[in-house]
Chain A
Amino acid sequence: MTREEVYEKLNEVFQDVFDDEDITVTDETVASDVDGWDSLEHINLLVAVERAFGIKFTMGQTTHLKNVGEMVDVIIEKLG
């Protein structure tokens, strides 16, 4: 899966989780950029991403991803 394809799918997940069809994420997107992405919603998002891509984040990744770019790196690494 290319980075672009990952982003295409990831945007759908973000739009679904945060109920906002206008969300478009990039490498630099962080939690404070997305309305509703707080510590309460964080795990819901990660579980939705895991399901969409058929992967599993470790607990380390769950708490230490700095931005969406790092999340995409992990997804590509796990898919590869």
Chain B
Amino acid sequence: MSLVSAVFLGFVAVVALIYYLLPNKAKPYVLLAGSVAFLAVAGAWTLGFVLFTAITTFFAGKIAAGKGEGRSKTVAAVIAIVINIALMCAVKYYGVLDLITTDINNVTKAADGSFLAVAVPLGMSFYTLQMTGYVLDCLWGIIPAEKNFFKYLLFACYFPYMTSGPLNHYGELSKEFTKPITLEYENIRKGIVRIAWGFFLKLVIAERASVIVNAVYGDHQTYTGPFVLLGVTLFALQLYTDFMACMEVAIGTSYIFGIKLPENFNSPYMALSIREYWQRWHITLGTWLRDFLYYPLLKSAPFIAIGDKAKKAFGKKNGKKVPVYLAMLVLWTAVGYWHGGLWKYVIGSGLLHCFYIVGGMIAETLFAKMRKPFKPDKLPYKIFCGVRTFVLVLIGFFFFRAANVPDALQLFRALFTAGAMPEGGILATGISLPDIIVLAVSTVMLIAVDIYKFRPDQNAEPRLVTDLTGKLPVAVRILLLALLIIAIAVFGKYGLGYDSASFIYARI
């Protein structure tokens, strides 16, 4: 069931109705029943995989947080984590399950007969990380282990975030699940507005942008020079609106149940540096990797020893950065690999960004000298930094969206090739003139909203799309919401032959 579909809206309405009719004690169980139903629709295998991860991590968490001897706690945690990460890698990257395709197809045949269509669990990359984090939180004494398996199972499979996040910490979310909840107008308002905004982003912007993106990435002979630049820029728009749509619907749906999920985006394309970009893009993944991979690596004995040796060899100031560079290399390789076990991801969303950040740190003295003639606090310099950062991100998208690394390199070549203009110009990609106008106007709307949401301090609580209209009179708010819904109904790409299930990040 796609998050951007009428079926999903109906499903949410039914679950919400039952949820608010029943007393607080029963509410988590209503959400659990809804979540299990949501997963069952996704496929029996999805439910099976989630249950397996939930059971193994639940018991590992119990041992890890228990009073037993330190070593056995660590061993239990490590076993559960290794099993689940290995399972995720096997399912997602190596097609190990292809080996048993025939057997499984005999039991659960997908409509098109393909095995992977039913067997790759929905949002596996997200829930595996989330539950791995739970075990580590238990092991490190940050939270006590959950005693009630059903409460834990709700954390494991809460349906709004099962498609692609956001990632949560059990310590924070369990409080949300168990707090007393009453039907509040503000929660419903925020939920509906954010769901509508999500539908708009996906159906009006992302799907339209994809027409040009698919054409440009698919034909390097016809589309060269400025077309490549346009295609890659529109892919940046498509990926952002596609992924943010998923988050808006997830967070909005959860608002309807009175449960607040963490924000995952904070005007990322307005970042002034690559480091800042990653503090604004897919925020919950960045926080997870920092807490559960980057910090533990740097605090491990081998990395501390490397730091000591490096300080002796390169001096205190430079030497202390050496373990940071190494940890960055591990971190970014993991980020790339997590996006998919292909080199195009490892380079495009991993190693390239590692190169930017580590390179920036190594060359900081040089950059500081180059910055001297400029005024870093003034707007022109900030615009320069913003554009530079966006261009660096775009270079990553050459790889990320291409079929493979050689294809990405061909696309680079096409960018610097002055080919003939295709007949019909931009219309040759298959997009119509009215579609171009709708895409342009809606993108301007998105940019305006992002400028409103933007706060220069990336750690400050971001403004939300719901704050934009929050202080307007109710009649104006209703009118704006109605206009948004009409815009989705008139300009949205949906209907027969259109598969709204294909969120880019749902495949990750």
Contacts and interface: CB of A to CB of B under 8 A. Distances in A.
Interface of A: 19, 32, 39-40, 42-44, 46-47, 58-60, 62-64
A56 B31 CA distance: 41
A62 B140 CA distance: 10
Given A43-B295, A44-B298, A47-B299, 16 more contacts: A19-B317, A32-B459, A39-B294, A40-B324, A42-B295, A43-B298, A44-B324, A58-B140, A58-B141, A59-B136, A59-B140, A59-B142, A59-B295, A59-B299, A60-B137, A63-B142
B: contact size bracket? 10 to 19
Given A47-B304, A58-B140, A58-B141, A63 B320 contact: no
Given A19-B317, A40-B324, A47-B304, A62 B142 contact: no
Instruction: Give the interface SS of chain A, mostly helix, strand, loop or mixed.
Output: helix
Interface of B: 136-137, 140-142, 290-291, 294-296, 298-299, 304, 307, 317, 320, 324, 361, 459
Contacts of A42: 295
Nearest to A51: B304
Contacts of A43: 295, 298-299
A68 B324 CA distance: 23
B213 to A, nearest CB: 33
B252 to A, nearest CB: 29
Given A19-B317, A32-B459, A62 B299 contact: yes
Contacts of A64: 142
A19 B137 CA distance: 33
5 contacts: A43-B298, A59-B142, A59-B295, A59-B299, A60-B140
A59 B296 CA distance: 7
A47 B295 CA distance: 11
Contacts of B137: 60
A62 B320 CA distance: 18
From B137, B291, B299, B307, residue with most partner A Cβ within 10 Å:
B299
A26 to B, nearest CB: 20
Contact of B295 (A19, A32, A62): A62
From A19, A43, A44, A60, residue with most partner B Cβ within 10 Å:
A43
A63 B136 CA distance: 12
A54 to B, nearest CB: 15
B291 A63 contact: yes
A58 B307 CA distance: 20
A63 to B, nearest CB: 5
Nearest to A64: B142
A60 B317 contact: no
Contacts of A39: 290, 294
From B142, B290, B307, residue with most partner A Cβ within 10 Å:
B142
Contacts of B141: 58, 60
Contacts of B296: 59
A41 to B, nearest CB: 9
B273 to A, nearest CB: 12
Question: 6 closest A-B pairs (Cβ-Cβ)?
Answer: A43-B298, A60-B142, A59-B140, A60-B140, A63-B291, A60-B141
B81 to A, nearest CB: 14
B360 to A, nearest CB: 11
From A40, A62, A64, residue with most partner B Cβ within 10 Å:
A40
Nearest to B457: A32
A56 to B, nearest CB: 9
B302 to A, nearest CB: 13
A40 B358 CA distance: 11
A20 to B, nearest CB: 13
A44 B319 CA distance: 11
B167 to A, nearest CB: 15
A73 to B, nearest CB: 15
Contacts of A19: 317
Contacts of B291: 63
A60 B291 CA distance: 9
Nearest to A59: B140
Contacts of B304: 47
From B294, B298, B459, residue with most partner A Cβ within 10 Å:
B298
Contacts of B294: 39
A30 B291 CA distance: 18
Contacts of B295: 42-43, 59, 62-63
Contact of B320 (A32, A44, A46): A44
A39 B293 CA distance: 13
B290 to A, nearest CB: 6
A59 to B, nearest CB: 4
